Amino acid sequence: MKHHVDANWSHAVLVCKKCSKKLKGGFGPDGSQKLSKELKARLGSKKGRKGRLGVIEVGCLDVCPKKAVMLVDSRHPGVWRIVRPDADLDALAGELAAAD
């Protein structure tokens, strides 16, 4: 029996599902996409473990900003980001994709 499965990820980006649900989208050109879906598209993230990084929706992170979504980059777990719908997602995706 296997005890592990290999993945191509260099790191993971955790996006609060509860924040996303409260916003009912809010991201993308027409403001109808969830942050996680929009980031996956901009980062060219493949499905599952085959991508170079993972964008994962997680349960409530217990920090609930008004009209924004909490995001955690696993490379910097001590710094959580508040992402508002008017944020520059191209710049954010560039920061998240950049190698340390």
Model confidence at 100, in pLDDT bands (50, 70, 90)? low
Say what the pTM is. 0.90
The answer to whether 15 and 89 are in contact (CB under 8 A) is: no
Give the pLDDT of residue 30.
87
Higher-confidence position of 70 and 48: 70
Q: Which of 91, 93, 100 is nearest to 13 (CA)?
A: 93
Give the pLDDT of residue 99.
65
Burial group, residue 53, by CB count within 10 angstroms (0-12, 13-18, 19+): buried
Give the pLDDT of residue 8.
86
What are the tens digits of pLDDT across the range 22-63? Answer: 998 889 888 889 999 999 999 887 778 888 889 999 999 999
Angle at 15 between CA 14 and CA 18, to 5 degrees: 135
29: left (phi > 0), else alpha (psi -120 to 50), else beta? alpha
